Structure 1
């Protein structure tokens, strides 16, 4: 898949426009909560860095659409290469602003003044193992820090909660029963996948209807590490600061959720109807 640089405009798409309208309609009932929106710049370049929730695409459309609607920012997501190997799906992602997650694309987007969305945990966080709910599975990755430092772009850390609670992981790749699946994953070059079987956390095994919550922290300037993008210590300092902010945000959102009288879907629908 060739690199897609940001000077190329996002292609117009009637399908994408219809999806935006559908998301807006859905949000009248689902009522996602976004805290700290004032911390999100209205123009780039900047990098949004957050936690990937289980199965990934549960909350991503909400995040991208609400940032566009409320802040006028069209974020450019860095997507895993396997997304762009699927005809049709690849075209939709491109029309929604996503690009393959390569260093070249990220640098081009930031150089063009774009807002770039990065999940350092990647597929490893999307396909978690049992007992890893809301964990940041970044390992020692510092690639996002390198790119932000090189571009001199601030990093806006954000936390996301809600989608992770809609499903429970029943079987993961660590199980003895998963030996054949592990062999296949290694063969196709995806040893990072952990989830194998999930069930919905709602009634009769259906997906739960937990509200989606997002919390944006104050932008973290990368100027303190200017000129040190190749320094592992500088990248690690930047990464650890961002990670700490996201973890604090996750804890705050989980606490907020426990006191939210509209956490469940039915109260949110009732509120939408009454208002």
Structure 2
């Protein structure tokens, strides 16, 4: 997971009085395997030429950013699908910014709240990874067998948070 160094989203949230809801999602690693990443692709003959061409005329996602982030190139990856796994979601306690606009203009205080949000998200993900390991219905076969035994409308059990 990549976290920006700056806490700007916290300051933006407080400007509009938004509520920040930390959440975690795991399971995406259960749907595909990475066959080739950027480093693997760059080892292929002539790929560097294709990569340059893609990024010369390609889409830039962070045009409103500055410096190195603004000029970040996009690089494809090659994936192979897996048998469908299960996704796990959890939402943490909402964090109110309404009424804290002046307080969170201070970069240090905004950074402190940012680190709190980051910690909450990381805790959610850690918790879900632990629960995923304990899940007897993580892979598709046990889920299919459960539905065959209990009917196609049966809700497959999951853990209680």
Which is higher, the Rg of structure 1 or of structure 2?
Answer: 2
Aligned positions of 1:9-88 closer than 5 A? none
**Is the Cα–Cα contact under 8 Å of residues 158 and 214 in structure 1 kept in the other structure?**
yes
1:213 equivalent in alignment to 2:78: no
Return the offset for 1:192: 5.0
Return the offset for 1:217: 0.6
2:102 to 203, 210, 227: 227
Q: Rate the CA distance shift 1:224–1:180 in 2: closer, same or farther, 3 A.
A: farther
2: CA distance, partners of 1:247 / 1:259: 19
Aligned positions of 1:116-155 closer than 5 A? 136-155=1-20
**Residue in 2 that maps onto 1:246:** 121
**Residue in 2 that maps onto 1:161:** 26
Higher relative contact order (CA 8 A, sep 6+): 2
2:52 to 183, 191, 194: 183
Unpaired runs of 5+ in structure 2? 62-71, 155-161
Q: Rate the CA distance shift 1:169–1:220 in 2: closer, same or farther, 3 A.
A: same
2: CA distance, partners of 1:139 / 1:271: 42
**Is the Cα–Cα contact under 8 Å of residues 210 and 265 in structure 1 kept in the other structure?**
yes
**Residue in 1 that maps onto 2:74:** 193
Return the offset for 1:262: 0.4
Q: Rate the CA distance shift 1:256–1:228 in 2: closer, same or farther, 3 A.
A: same
What is the TM-score of this pair, normalised by structure 1?
A: 0.43
1: CA distance, partners of 2:97 / 2:28: 30
When the two chains are superposed, the root-mean-square deviation of aligned CA atoms in Å is 2.5
**Residue in 1 that maps onto 2:69:** none
What is the TM-score of this pair, normalised by structure 2?
A: 0.69
2: CA distance, partners of 1:195 / 1:170: 11
Q: Rate the CA distance shift 1:238–1:196 in 2: closer, same or farther, 3 A.
A: same
Return the offset for 1:241: 1.4
Return the offset for 1:211: 0.5
Unpaired runs of 5+ in structure 1? 1-135, 203-207
1:266 to 141, 149, 152: 141
Q: Rate the CA distance shift 1:224–1:185 in 2: closer, same or farther, 3 A.
A: farther
Q: Rate the CA distance shift 1:196–1:268 in 2: closer, same or farther, 3 A.
A: same
2: CA distance, partners of 1:173 / 1:228: 42
